[in-house]
Amino acid sequence: MPFKPPAIPFMGASSDAVMEGANAVLFGAPHGTPYPGIANKPFASAPDALREAMEEDGRWLDHWDFDLGGPLLADSAFRLLDAGNLPTTADDGTGNRQLIREATAAIVAAGAVPIMLGGDDSTPIPFLEALSPLGPLTIVQVDAHIDWRDERRGERLGYSSTMRRASEMAHVGRIVQVGIRGLGSARREEVEIARNWGARIVTAREFQEHGVASVLEHVNDGANCVITFDCDALDAGIMPAVMAPTPGGLSYMQAIELVAAVAARGRLAAFDMIEFVPERDSTGTATFTAARIVANVVGRLARASAGSG
């Protein structure tokens, strides 16, 4: 695959580009499918910003992580490979989708868990397409918005259509949408289409009231799960570094509890983090918060690999 090697691998991961023997492979997809007149460039530096935020922590892998109840990799032989970034470009939606599909398919074929750092919220469309060998899949979308538009500005593969396109994939059996709140591109018809398809919409209000139980009731034991995590799912007070900061979102602790709960209920087969805008993080704390969620994903995968839950 034509990856550009990372200058700083995520959390001290291997970066030798050898997928054989890797338990999980992380890669960056800086661009997805642009809308006419809407730039997708603000997200392009997100993968490297998240890597940089974890550079220091990557030197402390043998130290106790109280979010995980032990060292990050659980004293296991878990191998994380950081393959680097795909050479996506701002205006080439077709080419970007092909790169993401091929990279994800190669990781799945190697028997590793793909972890994608986007990129705007159109990047999960080809990512999810390439997960077909792992189906049937339960998608747990953590987001402020439901993303069920059939098209926007004439584009059917943009960031407002991610779950609509996912619903059309034969290997997607269930969609659970968590943290939904505020105002987005959905109109009454999109909400009705989502509900009629069978999407389980867990609003931020419901999640605040009932916690992870409101999600787990829709996730079957042993299900192959994909978490697609839009950073605007987090409350604007801790995550201003998005295009549409919205009050009332998840806290950091709620986010990592959700990751842990889904990983425990089913099998975490893939993960992506998207919609992070580094230039809107004036203090660096939002970057570190987002990167720590990804680190928790790695920790949960390591525990599952070691059989320690």
CB 233 within 8 A of CB 246: no
Q: Which is nearest to 118 in space by CA: 208, 185, 26?
A: 26
In a domain, 131, yes or no: yes
pLDDT per residue as tens digits for the range 55-73? 999 999 999 999 999 999 9
> Does the residue 102 lie in any domain?
yes
146 within domain boundaries? yes
CA distance 198 to 192: 10
Q: Which residues is 272 bridged to in the sheet?
A: 116, 228
pLDDT for 39 equals 84
Q: How many structural domains does the chain have?
A: 1
> What's the confidence (pLDDT) of residue 181?
98
For residue 3, tell me if it sits in a domain.
no
With respect to residue 260, please indicate whether it lies within any of the assigned structural domains.
yes
CA gap 44, 278 in Å, rounded? 9
4 falls within a domain: no
Buried/exposed code over 31-43 (b: 16+ C-beta within 10 A; e: otherwise): bbbbbeeeebebb
User: How many helices (H) does the chain have, and how many strands (E)?
Assistant: 9, 8
pLDDT at residue 284 greater than cutoff 90? yes
pLDDT digits (tens, 9 = 90+) for 181-222: 999 999 999 999 999 999 999 999 999 999 999 999 999 999
Question: Is residue 168 domain-resident?
Answer: yes
Q: What is the pLDDT of residue 179?
A: 98
DSSP labels for 7-39? SS-GGG-B-S---TT-SEEEEEE----PBTTB-
User: What are the backbone angles phi and psi of residue 114, rounded to the nearest 5°?
Assistant: -80, 135
The pLDDT, as a whole number, for residue 16 is: 87
CATH assignment of the domain containing 212: 3.40.800.10
Q: In the predicted model, is pLDDT for residue 130 greater than 90?
A: yes
pLDDT band of 308, cuts 50, 70, 90: low
Asked whether 29 and 96 are in contact (CB, 8 A), the reply is yes
pLDDT tens column, 144-166: 999 999 999 999 999 999 999 99
Q: Which domain covers residue 85, as residue numbers?
A: 10-306
The per-residue pLDDT for 75 is: 86
pLDDT digits (tens, 9 = 90+) for 257-276: 999 999 999 999 999 999 99
pLDDT at 309: 62
**Does the pLDDT of residue 120 top 80, yes or no?**
yes
pLDDT at 31 over 80: yes
Which has the closest alpha carbon to 150: 90, 91, 193, 202? 193
Q: Is the pTM of this model over 0.85?
A: yes
In a domain, 272, yes or no: yes
Average pLDDT score over residue span 245-258: 97
